[in-house]
């Protein structure tokens, strides 16, 4: 018999009929996702999760919530078990960690308390949620989720290397810390690819924060100050690295490499480079 999440609930003496499964997934907003909130600042994740719309109250009414967050590589990772009380009015100072918006009239805040039950599995256990990802709140007794993976400890995937790095801009602000450290320390030439028009943009990273610092601007405003990108509809460009500059290369050397890559890829004539 395969191990399922409900068997873990049974081992903790918790009736699955009293549990709602919550799968938190959102595109990055203000540089954060439910996963990064859980990973970096648990109190903000708890505030995010506790804030729900009044119209959905029936979906959340249960003594327990088993919370899951979607990782950058798409896994549904166990984030913790919570005891849940009655919802109340949203305080005017209540934090909205993702939207940064003021409290809304259609929301309410649940009283939640993180439990030690199953805490050893947090960040280590991933389940198979199934095809119904839009139904992100489900009854545990009606959805016995298979356990997909159980690791020794919580660990994010290792940095793939500069040559293998390929990510959409929407995920740049949510990368693992080991990745951001490597990207911040390196300078060089990068490539943006528009998923809509298939056009290319070649750029250079020569600032003190390397590739990461340059891409941060694109992730925030969508154009990074570039004239041609600013004039277009915002797109989730794919970003990759064409060449890493050497430690002795000057800014002028890096700019020369950039010009060479623009010529090779013809990104001036058939892409998004204006110069």
Kindly give, in sequence order, each residue whose CB lies less than 8 Å from that of residue 121, ignoring residues fewer than 6 positions away. Answer: 8, 78, 150
Per-residue pLDDT tens over the stretch 14-56: 999 999 999 999 877 777 889 999 998 899 999 999 999 999 9
Of residues 73 and 268, the one with the higher pLDDT is 268
pLDDT greater than 70 at residue 1: no
What CA–CA distance (Å, rounded) separates 178 from 255?
Answer: 27
What CA–CA distance (Å, rounded) separates 212 from 165?
Answer: 12
Split at pLDDT 50, 70, 90, the class of 84 is: very high
What CA–CA distance (Å, rounded) separates 165 from 4?
Answer: 34
Per-residue pLDDT tens over the stretch 123-178: 999 999 998 888 999 999 999 999 999 988 887 888 999 999 999 988 888 888 88
pLDDT greater than 60 at residue 87: yes
What CA–CA distance (Å, rounded) separates 97 from 47?
Answer: 8
CB 89, CB 36: distance < 8 Å: no
- Supply the pLDDT for residue 106: 83
- Supply the pLDDT for residue 29: 75
Of residues 2 and 78, the one with the higher pLDDT is 78
- Supply the pLDDT for residue 226: 75
Per-residue pLDDT tens over the stretch 214-261: 998 888 777 777 767 776 778 888 999 999 999 899 999 999 999 999
3-state secondary structure of 146: strand
Tokens of 58: 């029936």
What CA–CA distance (Å, rounded) separates 250 from 104?
Answer: 51
Per-residue pLDDT tens over the stretch 46-76: 999 999 999 999 999 999 999 999 998 889 9
Kindly give, in sequence order, each residue whose CB lies less than 8 Å from that of residue 144, ignoring residues fewer than 6 positions away. Answer: 4, 5, 6, 16
What CA–CA distance (Å, rounded) separates 240 from 183?
Answer: 11
- Mean pLDDT score, 187-195: 94
- Supply the pLDDT for residue 103: 62
Domains in the chain and their CATH numbers?
Answer: 5-150 (no CATH), 166-265 (3.40.1440.10)
- pTM of the entire structure? 0.74
What CA–CA distance (Å, rounded) separates 275 from 259?
Answer: 9
pLDDT greater than 70 at residue 104: no
Mean pLDDT, the chain, rounded, equals 90
Per-residue pLDDT tens over the stretch 124-137: 999 999 988 889 99
- Mean pLDDT score, 106-128: 94
Weakest mean pLDDT among 19-33, 106-120, 198-212: 19-33
- Supply the pLDDT for residue 184: 94
């Amino acid at each position: 018999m395969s191990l399922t999440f409900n068997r873990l609930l049974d081992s903790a003496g918790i009736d699955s009929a009293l549990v709602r499964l919550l799968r938190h997934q959102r595109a990055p907003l203000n540089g954060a996702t439910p996963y990064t909130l859980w990973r970096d600042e648990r109190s903000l994740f708890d505030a995010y999760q506790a804030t729900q719309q009044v119209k959905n109250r029936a979906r959340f009414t249960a003594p327990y919530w088993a919370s899951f967050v979607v990782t950058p590589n798409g896994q549904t990772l166990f984030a913790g078990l919570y005891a849940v009380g009655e919802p109340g009015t949203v305080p005017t100072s209540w934090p909205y960690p993702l939207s940064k918006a003021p409290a809304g009239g259609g929301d309410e805040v649940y009283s939640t308390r993180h439990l030690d039950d199953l805490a050893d599995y947090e960040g280590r256990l991933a389940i198979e949620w199934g095809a119904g990802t839009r139904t992100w709140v489900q009854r545990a007794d009606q959805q016995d989720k298979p356990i997909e993976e159980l690791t020794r400890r919580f660990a994010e995937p290792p940095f793939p290397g500069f040559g293998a790095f390929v990510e959409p801009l929407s995920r740049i602000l949510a990368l693992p810390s080991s990745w951001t450290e490597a990207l911040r320390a390196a300078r060089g030439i990068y490539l943006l690819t528009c998923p809509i028009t298939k056009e290319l943009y070649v750029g250079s990273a020569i600032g003190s924060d390397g590739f990461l610092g340059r891409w941060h601007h694109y992730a925030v405003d969508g154009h990074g100050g570039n004239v041609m990108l600013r004039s277009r509809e915002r797109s989730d460009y794919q970003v990759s690295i064409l060449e890493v500059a050497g430690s002795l290369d000057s800014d002028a050397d890096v700019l020369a490499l950039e010009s060479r890559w623009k010529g090779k890829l013809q990104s001036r004539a058939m892409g998004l480079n204006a110069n």
